[in-house]
Amino acid sequence: MLDDANLSNLTNSANSTNLTNLTNLTNNYFDKMRFVTRLLFVVGCVLLAAGPCAGQVINSIGEENMKVEQGLKPQQKKAESPYIADIDTESPYFQYIDSAQTYIYSHDWPQAEQWLLKAFTIDPENPSNSMVLSNIATLQRYQGKLAEAVKNYSLALDMTPHAVTLLLNRAALYVEMDSVQRAIDDFERVCELDLYNTEARYSLGVLAMDRGDTKRAEDLFNEIKRINPNSGLYHEGMGLLHKRNGNFARAAELFTQVIKVESNVQLLGNRADCYLALKRLNDAEADIRAALEMAPDDPYLYVLRAKLNKLRFQRDDMNRDIDIAVSLGLPRDYILQSLNE
């Protein structure tokens, strides 16, 4: 049985569009999209208590994420909204935070950002500002203002340099921005600060696979297993590793172990890709259909379905799915290349 707590970390991410599936980590958008997704943690709460823990940022790790190839640009999927805890105070600082919360609930990211900036400006010495800056950074990431988001994550880390969640957030953003070595540095710092952190080890393992260092990736995934033998991240990581190495049957088994506990678009997409490679077309169709019910605007799912239709010699249906994927933002050349792999 896999750990539900770990499985809640299996997917998550950014922006209000849709995310991914995975295929070969080196040659495909799918795995990198899934990776960025796995990395992009949505800041969830601003803790408003002063004291030694005041700088701790709480992440709301939802069930949505992404990955892209050559550039690790986020594919997009709905992420849980940032959430700021209710504040029982009449001070302008906390009133501004309350106002930001209202706009966060309505997904009005620019207005929410402005109210949090007002809170920071009116009380720049407030011990809760590390969390406020972290939430500002996440809202900026939602709006595609990545350079500003990095700056604010870094300012928050200047205030609370040992905040693991902030390091994970900034590392995820670095991956999205192709600053992979900086991301690795942040993930490794997390491992130093938290000997039991499995998210950072998973992320480092996926980055190692991307560099072709499968031995390092396997070692990192095994570290996760030693920390928690029932970790869903271990099974998912090893599934990606077996998939990369062409052992599609074993990869599908590992993805299935995780799906039995908690299904999501990325895992279904990965398993469908394995089933396509194994010519288990009916099983692939079932996974693609289930994933599309969860994320009907995910262009990568239509690429998978186009592959399925190609294998079934249903050319009209294949061309229709290609057109849908293009309309959802994927380059036609990339899609055609994927269909020929």
Q: What value does the CA radius of gyration of the chain take, rounded to a whole number of Å?
A: 20
Report whether 176 contacts 182 (CB < 8 A).
no
Torsion over CA of 303, 81, 59 and 18, rounded to 10 degrees? 0
| Residue 303 counted as domain residue | no
Q: How far apart are CA 206 and CA 187, in angstroms?
A: 12
Domain tally for the chain?
A: 1
pLDDT at 299 (0 to 100): 95
Q: Provide mean pLDDT across the span 254-278.
A: 95
The tens digit of pLDDT for each residue in 11-69 reads 233 222 222 222 222 233 334 333 333 333 223 332 222 233 322 222 322 222 222 22
> Which residues pair with residue 60 across a beta bridge?
42
Q: DSSP secondary-structure letter at 44?
A: E
Instruction: Give domain status of residue 319, yes or no.
Output: no
Residue 338 lies in a domain: no
Residue in this structure with the two tokens 């099974």, named with its chain if needed: 235
pLDDT at 340: 87
Beta bridge partners of residue 45, listed in sequence order = 58
**Does 282 reside within a domain?**
no
Query: Is residue 95 assigned to a domain?
Result: yes
22 falls within a domain: yes
Write out the residue range of the structural domain in which residue 155 sits. 4-274
Query: Is the predicted pLDDT of residue 271 greater than 50, yes or no?
Result: yes
The two tokens of residue 162 are 């040992």
| pTM as predicted | 0.72
Kindly indicate the confidence band of residue 303, based on its pLDDT and cuts at 50, 70 and 90.
very high
The answer as to whether 339 is a domain residue is no
CATH of the domain at 40: 1.25.40.10
- Token pair, residue 296, equals 């009907």
For residue range 64-112, what is the model confidence (pLDDT) as tens digits? Answer: 222 222 222 223 333 344 544 444 467 899 999 999 999 999 999 999 9
**Is position 182 within any domain?**
yes
